[in-house]
Amino acid sequence: MSERDPIIAQEVIDRAFRKKGPKQYTLWVDLEYCIGCHACTMGCKAENNTPVGVDYNRVIEVEEGLFDNPKQRPELQVYFVAMPCMHCGKPACMAACPVGAITKRQEDGIVLINKDRCIGCRYCAWACPYGVPTFNAEAKVMEKCTLCVHRVTKGLLPACVETCVAKTRFFGEMNDLVNLIREQRSKRVFLGGASSTVPSVVYTK
């Protein structure tokens, strides 16, 4: 497979940054081209300086099919699913937090944990259907993907998008990305079916 051209124009990104008023920044992960190199995980760790055991972004390897008859061709396939925070429309973590430490920002839809307020009870991890929040055993607080809010507010792309080797992760405003996917006739897939938490991260396969 030759290296493909970026399928998302700079214009889409610029439009997302320029957009005024309430919006939902999010990621688009194209599972078809993901090679499972974990560069996004490492880029994220380097950018956010997370300790051992705390990952804002994980890549899960999924094996499908069976290889039970050695005389036949194995019917197997492997694909990789990158799991950042879904920055849900109705975050289950926010509803579960007993001290109101989790907020969803109106201006860009990013779900953030206020580490000054977090008491480390881990209720958000129990509540999250994607198992995203992780416990920082040193600081005794919960941490999760912030969509690189410190970069995004400066007009930079999230670290995972910038490091992605296979050019399979894109950043943008949710409606723009969904429209783009529709134009390109990519097949949108949903994790665990449609979730009640209204996840914003878009997957295609």
Partner 1 sequence: MTKEASHSSVRPQVAGSLCSRFRTTKSDCALCEEVCPKQAVRLSNEGPVISEQCVGCGACYAICPTAAFDLPARADLAIIEEMRDSDDPRPEQPYAISCRRADTTAELVLPCLGRLTEALLVEPMGLGASAVEIRRPACEKCSLTKAVTSLDLVLQRARGLYEMVGLAGGQLRERRVALRAAKQSAPPDVSRRGFVGALGKGALGLASLAIPTPEAKQAQPPADFRKILAERPENRKRSALLESLKGFSPARTMAVPAQNALLADIVVSRKCSACGTCVLLCPTMAISLIEREESFCLTFRPAQCVNCRVCRQVCNQEALDFKAEATLNSLLGDREKTLLQAPQKTCPVCRGRYLGGDDMEFCPLCLDRVRKQQSMLAKLG
- Tell which residue, 163, 154, 136, 135, has the closest CA to residue 47: 163
185 binds partner 1 (CB under 8 A): no
| Binding status of residue 56 toward partner 1 by CB under 8 A | no
**CB within 8 A of 178, min separation 6: which ones?**
188, 202
Q: How far is the CB of 189 from partner 1 (least distance, A)?
A: 6
110 binds partner 1 (CB under 8 A): no
Query: Applying CB under 8 A, does 104 fall inside the site for partner 1?
Result: no
User: Is residue 134 a contact residue for partner 1 (CB under 8 A)?
Assistant: yes
Is 28 or 152 the residue whose CB approaches partner 1 more closely?
28
> Which of residues 9, 62, 76, 78 is near partner 1 by CB under 8 A?
62
The 111-130 contact track toward partner 1, x by CB under 8 A, reads -----xx-x-xxx-xxx-xx
Q: Which of 6, 21, 70, 193 binds partner 1 (CB under 8 A)?
A: 193
The residues near 145 (Cβ < 8 Å, ≥ 6 apart) are 44, 56, 57, 84, 85, 132
The answer to whether residue 78 forms part of the interface with partner 1 (CB under 8 A) is no
Using alpha carbons only, what angle is made at residue 17 by residues 11 and 23, rounded to the nearest 5 degrees? 115
* One residue of 135, 149, 151, 156 binding partner 1 per CB under 8 A: 135
Q: Angle at CA 94, nearest 5°, toward 88 and 95? A: 110
For the chain, first and last CA: distance in Å? 16
Tell me the backbone φ, ψ of residue 128, rounded to 5 degrees.
Answer: -65, 120
Helix (H) or strand (E) holding 25, with range, is strand 25-30
Q: Catalog residues that contact partner 1 under the rule CB under 8 A.
A: 53, 60, 62, 81, 83, 96-100, 116-117, 119, 121-123, 125-127, 129-131, 134-135, 137, 189-193, 203, 205
